[in-house]
Chains A and B, each alone.
Chain A
Amino acid sequence: MHIEKAVIISNSEVAHQIWEMKFEAPMIAKASKGAGEFINILAMENWQNPLRRPMSIASSDGTTLSIIYKIFGEVTTILSNKRPGDYIEILGPLGNTFSHWQNDHHPILVGGGVGLAPILNLQHECKSAGVDHSIIIGARSANEHFIDHEPDRKIYLTTDDGTAGESGTVMGPLERLVADNTKPYIYACGPEPMLVAIREFSLAQNIPAQLSVESYMGCGVGLCQGCVIPRQNGEIQHHSYHQKYSLVCLDGPVYEAEDIQFV
């Protein structure tokens, strides 16, 4: 775990309101253990926004890292105004990683919105390891996509309004791919309704699934105890600590679907 001043290499809008930033962060990049991990970003030095913003690592090559972020408010707007050569201060790498499939599994990677970031990182790991895999990317509309719909290469896009790829949610192609593969293994990150649907589907079908969840964080390192998610069947303990709730920053952000529940 390091705090590092990272030099921005590139920062550009890759789709409507969706940005990709790449920066040099050799200490953190070197310490990174794999897809799923996140960093905690300080966009500005003043204290109007005291807290860092946690963001999944979208790529890592040993000296550089990248993130994908959506313009939401003040802090992400400030991030989007950064130019190559500017600095951001980052803390990381934080959290756990996706754990890998066994040899005969077919990984189905599912990313929704900016939840695509750790999924692209995992896709890179699949490619590097020469693992046959599929990827499904969901968005509301075509202008939020920055990857092409190429079913021949097992890249499936969906849009809520039908303007790109398949019309509807990621569940359409996911259900088909699960039916077509003998040993599917789902990896997903995205908005909560998407994760809820995937979790229910994977439990009903008895398919292994790992979900990277989002949580509001204070510190990212376990100090504030703010970023909890309820564990599945966690209520049994009367007087307990971290039996009912899990800390997303330390235990997560990646969980087996069966281990957590959404409120």
Chain B
Amino acid sequence: MSDLKLTMGNIEFDNPIWVASGTFGYGTEAPELVDVNRLGAIVTKSITRQPREGNPPPRIVETPSGMINSIGLANIGVERYIKEMLPIYESLTTKIIMNIAGTDIQEYIEILEMVESVSSVIAGYEINISCPNVKKGGMEFGVDCDMTAKLTDALRSRTDRLIIMKLSPNVSDIVSIGQASQDAGADAVSAINTVVGMSISAKTGTSDIYTTYGGLSGPAIKPVGLAAVHKLYQKLNIPIIGIGGIVNGQDVAEYMLAGAQAVQVGTANFRNPGISEDILSQLETFISESKWPSANDMVGQVKTHS
């Protein structure tokens, strides 16, 4: 079996197959369907300072080869996360990455400091600067280089754990946001978050999502994710975690060839919460049948025509 281990910051991950924030709950929802300890990491659902109910329904709709969601960061809040979830993670061997969302820099800092002040096995933080579904949400950070740099810097100075900035595709230049994250001390970037989208039912003449616009995910956005990862790989020297439309081992290989060192499986979890285990096996088979000695050897090695 090929070696799938990878190192990011000072953390060693068993394999590059992670599950994406918001698509896997807190990691404990479907124990009958998935052995989470086989995953490289679980990125838990975005946590905010206070609990959040989320948006009114309808919150989701299927679209061609994808879906649009506008959940609105429904979550238990950081206090319950610390009290109820952190103790559960002690018994898991998979790595836990906590995803954090805030409305201003102070809120991100407060959440991170609350978690840092207790002992836990958390490997790091993924910073949601790009949720499209919350008014006054993280989007302003995700589209602005200076704000991204300030936020990254503020969090960097407060933790030795991994800091991963999650980038939005809904920007004019994703590379400059990635660069700002790197320069301010981020250990890695993950790309992409969902693409702003809309779905309309012609028959009824109505929008299918309460908030009108939502986040498009699934295989429909894989080409957008691949392009973002490839562009980031040309300019950045920190690891990139690829996200967007991954449903099988071949998709993972494509993201790795584009420049991703690890990937996150998202929407596919909704169809089958155990799909990441299948994807891991498929990746192992793919590598063993390929010319690549290991997963790491593939990273960024796509042959382009120019």
How big is chain A's contact interface, by range? 35 or more
User: Is B160 an interface residue, CB under 8 A from the partner?
Assistant: no
Chain A residue numbers with a CB within 8 Å of B50 are: 239
Tell me whether B270 and A219 are in contact (CB under 8 A).
Answer: yes
- Residues of chain A in range 45-87 having any CB-CB distance to chain B below 8 Å: 47-52
Contacting residue for B273 out of A219, A228, A243, CB 8 A: A219
CB distance from A252 to the nearest CB of B (A): 13
B71 within 8 A of A: yes
**Closest B-chain residue to A217, C-beta based?**
B60
For window 60-78 of B, CB contacts with A under 8 Å fall at: 60-62, 64-67, 69, 71, 74-77
Whether A3 touches B53, Cβ cut-off 8 Å, given contacts A219-B269, A241-B76, is: no
What separation, in Å, do the CA atoms of A243 and B75 have in the docked complex? Answer: 12
CB of A191 within 8 A of chain B? Answer: no
Q: Is B24 an interface residue (CB 8 A)?
A: yes
Query: Is B218's CB under 8 angstroms from A243's CB?
Result: no
Contact flag A223-B24 (CB < 8 Å), given A51-B62, A216-B58, A263-B57: yes
Contacts A50-B62, A51-B62, A225-B59: A243 and B53 contacting too (C-beta < 8 A)? yes
CB B251 to nearest CB in A, in angstroms, measures 10
Contact of A240 among B53, B60, B65 (CB under 8 A): B53
- For the complex, give the distance between the alpha carbons of A237 and B51 in Å: 10
> How many residue pairs at the A-B interface have CB separations less than 8 Å?
115
Interchain CA distance A32-B2 in the complex, whole Å: 41
Instruction: Encode A211-229 as 1/0 by CB contact (under 8 A) with B.
Output: 0000111110111111111
How many angstroms from the CA of A3 to the CA of B274 in the assembled complex?
10
Q: Is B219 a contact partner of A50 (Cβ separation < 8 A)? A: yes
Report the Cα distance A221→B22, complex, angstroms. 13
Whether A229 contacts B59 by the Cβ 8 Å rule is: no
Decide if A48 touches B32 in the complex (CB within 8 Å): no
Quote the shortest CB–CB distance from A102 to chain B (angstroms).
Answer: 33
User: Which A-chain residue is minimally distant from B269 (CB atoms)?
Assistant: A223
Whether A223 and B271, one on each chain, are in contact in the complex, defined by CB atoms closer than 8 angstroms, is no
A224 to B60 Cα, complex, angstroms = 9
Q: Quick one: closest B residue to A221, CB to CB?
A: B30
**Other-chain contact of B66, A50, A52, A222 (Cβ < 8 Å):** A50
**A48 contacts which chain B residues (CB < 8 A)?**
64-65
B36 at the interface (CB under 8 A from A): no
Tell me the residues in window 15-56 of chain A with beta carbons closer than 8 Å to chain B beta carbons.
Answer: 42, 47-52
Complex A-B: 26 CB contacts under 8 Å: A1-B32, A2-B32, A3-B274, A49-B62, A50-B62, A50-B218, A50-B268, A216-B57, A216-B60, A222-B29, A223-B29, A224-B69, A225-B71, A227-B59, A228-B54, A228-B59, A230-B56, A237-B53, A239-B77, A240-B53, A241-B53, A242-B53, A242-B74, A243-B53, A244-B53, A245-B54
The 10 A-B pairs of least Cβ separation, nearest first, read A226-B60, A241-B51, A239-B50, A219-B270, A244-B53, A218-B270, A226-B59, A47-B219, A1-B32, A218-B60
Seen from chain B, the residues whose Cβ lies within 8 Å of a Cβ on chain A are 22-25, 29-30, 32-33, 50-54, 56-62, 64-67, 69, 71, 74-77, 80, 218-219, 247, 267-274
Taking beta carbons and an 8 Å cutoff, which residues of A are in contact with B? 1-3, 42, 47-52, 91, 215-219, 221-230, 237, 239-245, 263
